[in-house]
């Protein structure tokens, strides 16, 4: 087995030489065999052991055993205790999912703190098969049938080409010691039931089962690669970049025959996994939104606007009468002028005597109104935004220059005529917006 393992590492993971390695070591069969294999290969990994505190005294004994093993081999050993049950209850997830989340979060933390280049975990071919079957039963899409990736970021799984039987035989031949986890025999867990009852029957009926399954995964991977190319091509053509994110035509989406698949494939990476909500948003009125943990999706007339969630700055900024320029939250310059100058949408000439200093830069409020230049009377700012077809994002990003409670300038867009200078103004003040 070692020769096959060595060739596998040299062919598929040549980058691991002379790197800092962290090995996830439960103390069970798979991780202990992996430790012996990579140790024989010439790597000296640090060890990381998770105590999920789910098996009472046995969990504590696992910790002692792993620490002793690390000491015998002269390896650094990290141990972390988790309140797995509390985490599962708080996050409303299964114990298995809680343990997974806690494990990988901690591995990432360790990696950053100690500059580990790679993290080895001991998943093998039978783990892939079990995951495949579980996902089939849960009604997964194609990606869920691809099994466990050999590499994801820093995570490497060098035992994936090997079956559980091969690993067990190697441990027996080399007299490798390991800890037995009693929970692995409990058939009330779906994975264990598949492992002990279903899969052995399949393998018994077909001696080539493992090889045929690997071939199936290969074909599924090729099919997924084709779909990924089609989706990427669609995104390149229809996810139109703008300052805050992407704009996607709803008309284009409606023209897709396999809409359900596309909606999930396109928006699930951004955290939008509820298909019914996505389909409803298509037919919602403009301004309706969906939120994920990281992004929001806004219906804006005939488009979706997809943007990262960012804190809306409620902070206001003061501008003193003596300032010549500011850089935050946007670039403005201020100059005293003796003669009247022609201005454009990016500049403004004001009567300084009509202003109350310090001026304020802020975002809009529902109650805001102003007296737009070139029009008679006042207008609610919300109505101005609507008439000018501002999207929700554009409204949120729009800065206002204010004198007291009065709007002086919707910056870069429209001035309030009450504060404008003319040729006869004595104290002319020119403001330029540098976007």
- The reply to whether omega before 329 is within 30° of 0 (cis) is yes
Residue 140 or 175, more confident? 175
Whole-angstrom distance, CA of residue 205 vs CA of residue 213: 14
Q: Under DSSP, is residue 271 helix (H, G, I), strand (E, B) or coil?
A: coil
Q: Is pLDDT at 313 greater than 60 in this prediction?
A: no
CA 150 to chain centre: 20
Strand boundaries in 328-367, DSSP class E: 331-337, 347-351, 359-362
Banded model confidence at residue 132, pLDDT cuts 50, 70, 90 = confident
Strand, helix or coil at 301?
A: coil
The 3-state secondary structure of 80-92 reads EECCHHHHHHHHC
Confidence of residue 418 (pLDDT cuts 50, 70, 90): very high
Minimum mean pLDDT range among 23-27, 181-185, 325-329, 337-341: 181-185
Within a 10 A sphere around the Cβ of 91, how many other Cβ atoms? 12
pTM here?
0.62
- Proportion of the chain above pLDDT 90, given as a percent: 61
Q: What is the pLDDT of residue 280?
A: 94
Helix/strand/coil for 352: helix
CB-based burial label for 53 (10 Å; 0-12, 13-18, 19+): middle
pLDDT digits (tens, 9 = 90+) for 362-411: 999 989 999 999 888 999 999 999 999 898 888 888 999 999 999 999 99
Which domains are assigned to the chain? 2-217 (3.40.50.620), 239-308 (3.30.465), 317-434 (3.50.40.10)
What number is the average pLDDT over the span 259-277?
92
Place of tokens 């010691």: 177
Whether 288 shows a pLDDT value over 80: the answer reads yes
Name the residue among 45, 36, 99, 108 with its Cα closest to residue 77. Answer: 45
Give the pairing of strands 21-24 and 46-51. Answer: parallel
């Amino acid at each position: 087995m070692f020769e096959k393992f060595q060739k596998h590492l040299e062919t598929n993971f040549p980058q691991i030489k002379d790197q800092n390695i962290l090995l996830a070591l439960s103390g069970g069969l798979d991780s202990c065999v992996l430790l012996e294999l990579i140790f024989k290969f010439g790597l000296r990994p640090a060890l990381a052991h998770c105590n999920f505190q789910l098996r009472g005294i046995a969990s504590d004994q696992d910790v002692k055993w792993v620490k002793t093993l690390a000491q015998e081999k002269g390896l650094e050993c990290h141990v972390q205790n988790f309140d797995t049950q509390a985490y599962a209850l708080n996050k409303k997830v299964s114990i298995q999912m809680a343990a997974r989340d806690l494990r990988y979060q901690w591995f990432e933390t360790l990696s950053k703190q100690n500059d580990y280049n790679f993290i080895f975990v001991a998943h093998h071919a039978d783990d892939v098969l079990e995951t495949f079957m579980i996902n089939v039963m849960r009604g997964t899409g194609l990606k869920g049938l691809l099994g466990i990736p050999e590499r994801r970021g820093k995570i490497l799984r060098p035992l994936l080409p090997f079956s559980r039987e091969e690993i067990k035989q190697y441990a027996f031949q080399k007299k490798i010691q390991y800890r037995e986890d009693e929970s692995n025999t409990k058939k009330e867990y779906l994975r264990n039931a598949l492992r002990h009852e279903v899969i052995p029957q399949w393998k018994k009926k077909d001696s080539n089962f493992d090889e045929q399954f690997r071939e199936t995964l290969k074909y599924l991977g090729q099919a997924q690669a084709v779909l990924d190319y089609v989706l990427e091509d669609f995104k390149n053509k229809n996810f139109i970049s703008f300052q805050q994110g992407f704009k996607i035509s709803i008309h284009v989406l409606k023209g897709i025959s396999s809409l359900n698949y596309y909606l999930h494939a396109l928006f699930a990476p951004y955290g939008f996994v509820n298909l019914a909500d996505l389909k409803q948003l298509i037919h919602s009125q403009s301004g309706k939104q969906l939120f994920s943990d990281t992004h929001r999706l806004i219906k804006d007339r005939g488009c979706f606007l997809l943007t990262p969630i960012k804190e809306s700055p409620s902070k206001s900024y003061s501008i003193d009468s003596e300032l010549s320029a500011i850089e935050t939250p946007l670039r403005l310059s201020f100059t005293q002028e003796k003669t009247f100058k022609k201005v454009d949408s990016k500049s403004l000439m004001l009567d300084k005597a009509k202003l109350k200093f310090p001026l304020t830069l802020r975002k809009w409020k529902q109650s805001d109104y102003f007296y737009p230049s070139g029009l008679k009377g006042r207008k609610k700012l919300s109505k101005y935004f609507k008439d000018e077809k501002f999207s929700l994002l554009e409204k949120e990003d729009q800065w206002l220059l204010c004198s007291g409670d009065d709007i002086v300038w919707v910056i870069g867009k429209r001035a309030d005529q009450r504060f404008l200078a003319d040729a006869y103004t004595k104290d002319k003040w020119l403001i330029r917006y540098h976007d």
